[in-house]
A and B are shown apart, each in its own frame.
Chain A
């Protein structure tokens, strides 16, 4: 009995030592990979930050209105955000590679799934950024055109354009990620359809007179009604 226990303990001790002897080099390799990853991520962050400052990305971002959205969300500037993102993505990538070296069976499958998912995340982020830039540009163009034409609801027009493009961009990004495809499609259809129906009802019922005046102004424009300004040149 005693011998069996001692033998069992010896076996357990032997197994533990064997496991540690097998695990420790892998753990050291993992640590080395993570440390190398940290150095590489730092280097990449500094290089990218310098490059983006050189290309004046912050100015483009300010122009596109992306910086304003970042400020509203209490986030740093576009250059800082991108360089930090690259740092974390690189380092997490190295960490995952390091963890996979440990050889834990279930974990490896999850890690490989995560790696397969990364390109879609990048594409979704790109869609969102482009959506933001396009929405800002077009809404500003609409605002300027409406203000200069003397429309009183210029801001509403501008916001409507911005809203529709955002909804479209978010839907496309979620579609790319494959998240709740049916729900996103249904939500987009409902939001877009409801907005258009709401506008149609509001304009048709609530603004009958306004609609008539607008149509008269555009279709039956007379010289008397036209706003007169001095010839600029």
Chain B
């Protein structure tokens, strides 16, 4: 049962007036009212077209309000009017809109907890979370996220996107291969802005006592996904379409992205270690639609600067890297940083060893954990530079093969991590 103490009286009043629903769509945002309005309309369109008979509600958690078309602000328990863009179909039931402010310091984790509590109180059978960026995409997205949890009894619905071949490189080179090798399930997008889940998984997560933890406060979706993977919930992937790119300056920069995602992944490794330490190999999860799609328009990137930042990072962070990496790994990294830009290659073997050294160092807390993750940034830049050079002219198939090989390398070297993970930390004295 939901812990209602952190829900405001106003939100509880709205939830009580709604009663019970079949489906709930949550919008996580700190965006402007206009962005929220577009997102809410896109969601309504999708619900009107795809879930005609179901009781549905939309909850937006940002402390702001959802404006109506005429610019008026919804009272919070407003009922959506029939969209002018609906294709002759309309829901037979009222779509309820709920707005919730933050009853505490705003964070994605608190917003997520508010949605989970609301879902629990409304007894929603399935729930989808979207970001306001979703408003620019097809209404099918919402239906695709909700349907597997609502009709096919899946507990966790992860999205798949069509991406530019040089976008989402953190997911392709680190997050996906590492989570796949360690948790043994092939889910590509654990760090997504959109996902779906069942009431069973929602209730499970709601009852976990982790909401005060920083990784859960900043990236609740990753923790929820890992919880689903490690607790044997039914997981699947659905192809949504082209991932909308964040507008300039709105997405997290590379340092912040690594701090949030890699920090969260390492934390999940520690909190779920019993689930992965003795596991080997990986298995696919059911996928609706293609499991990958890559586009290749020209893209302007400053590769030389990236290489320069890698080399200077390795040189200047040497004392920090010494305490994180094993001597042979550090030696190899220093050796490639001394190479000429044209001859430079970051091998899969070294990349995997390096990441496993970082994960193990995080576990043993050899230095402050946030500093440890930040020390990975220059090395990641080196890997990405190498990736950009190697795949300048690669076809999607070649890139997919390369990604598969990297995943297998992570799986092959897993014993290296488990050995270091279980070993006591060596304190130099």
Contact = CB atoms under 8 A, between A and B. Distances in A.
Interface stretch (A3-11, A139-147, A179-187): A139-147
A202 B313 CA distance: 25
A176 interface: no
Interface residues of A, number: 33
Given A228-B302, A231-B167, A232-B169, A59 B427 contact: yes
A233 B261 contact: yes
Interface string A76-98: 11111000000000000000000
Contact of B316 (A79, A80, A155, A227): A155
A150 interface: yes
A233 B429 contact: no
B429 A229 contact: no
A233 B374 contact: no
A148 B171 contact: no
A63 B365 contact: yes
Interface string A205-227: 00000000000000000010001
A121 to B, nearest CB: 25
A233 B309 CA distance: 20
A144 B374 contact: yes
A141 B245 CA distance: 30
A231 B246 contact: yes
B317 A144 contact: yes
A217 to B, nearest CB: 14
B170 A232 contact: yes
B245 A231 contact: yes
A46 interface: no
B197 interface: no
B368 A148 contact: no
A6 B366 CA distance: 79
Contact of A228 (B251, B301, B313, B384): B301
B89 interface: no
A2 interface: no
Contacts of B364: 59
A230 B299 contact: yes
A71 interface: yes
A149 B255 CA distance: 9
Given A62-B323, A148-B374, A227-B305, A232 B258 contact: yes
Given A143-B316, A143-B317, A144-B374, A230 B169 contact: yes
B312 interface: yes
Interface string B405-425: 000000000000000000001
Nearest to B173: A232
B12 interface: no
For A58, A80, A150, which residue has the most chain B Cβ atoms within 10 angstroms?
A150
B428 interface: yes
Nearest to A231: B167
Nearest to A230: B166
A143 to B, nearest CB: 7
A171 interface: no
Interface in B318-346: 319-320, 323
A44 interface: no
A229 B252 CA distance: 12
Given A80-B429, A137-B368, A232 B257 contact: yes
B316 A230 contact: no
For B166, B309, B366, B381, which residue has the most chain A Cβ atoms within 10 angstroms?
B309
For A63, A71, A148, which residue has the most chain B Cβ atoms within 10 angstroms?
A148
Contacts of A223: 248
A143 B255 CA distance: 14
A145 B320 CA distance: 13
B302 A229 contact: yes
Contacts of B354: none
A150 B305 CA distance: 9
Contacts of A59: 364-366, 425, 427
B289 interface: no
Contacts of B248: 223
Given A143-B316, A231-B168, A233-B170, A148 B427 contact: no
A113 interface: no
B375 A144 contact: yes
A78 B429 CA distance: 8
Interface string A148-162: 111010110000000
A67 B428 contact: yes
Contacts of A67: 427-429
A63 B300 CA distance: 40
B320 A229 contact: no
A233 B301 contact: no
A227 B252 CA distance: 15
Nearest to A224: B300
B254 interface: yes
A141 B317 CA distance: 11
Nearest to B305: A227
A233 B302 contact: no
B205 interface: no
Contact of A148 (B261, B301, B308, B313): B313
29 contacts: A58-B427, A59-B364, A62-B366, A67-B427, A80-B429, A140-B320, A140-B371, A144-B371, A144-B375, A144-B377, A145-B374, A147-B316, A148-B378, A150-B305, A150-B308, A154-B312, A223-B248, A227-B305, A228-B300, A229-B381, A230-B301, A230-B388, A232-B169, A232-B170, A232-B252, A232-B258, A233-B170, A233-B171, A233-B251
Interface of B: 166-171, 191, 245-246, 248, 251-252, 254-255, 257-258, 261, 299-302, 305-306, 308-309, 312-313, 316-317, 319-320, 323, 364-368, 371, 374-375, 377-378, 381, 384, 388, 425, 427-429
Interface of A: 58-59, 62-63, 67-68, 71, 76-80, 137, 140-141, 143-145, 147-150, 152, 154-155, 223, 227-233
Given A68-B319, A144-B375, A228-B301, 8 more contacts: A59-B365, A62-B367, A140-B367, A144-B317, A147-B378, A154-B312, A154-B316, A233-B257
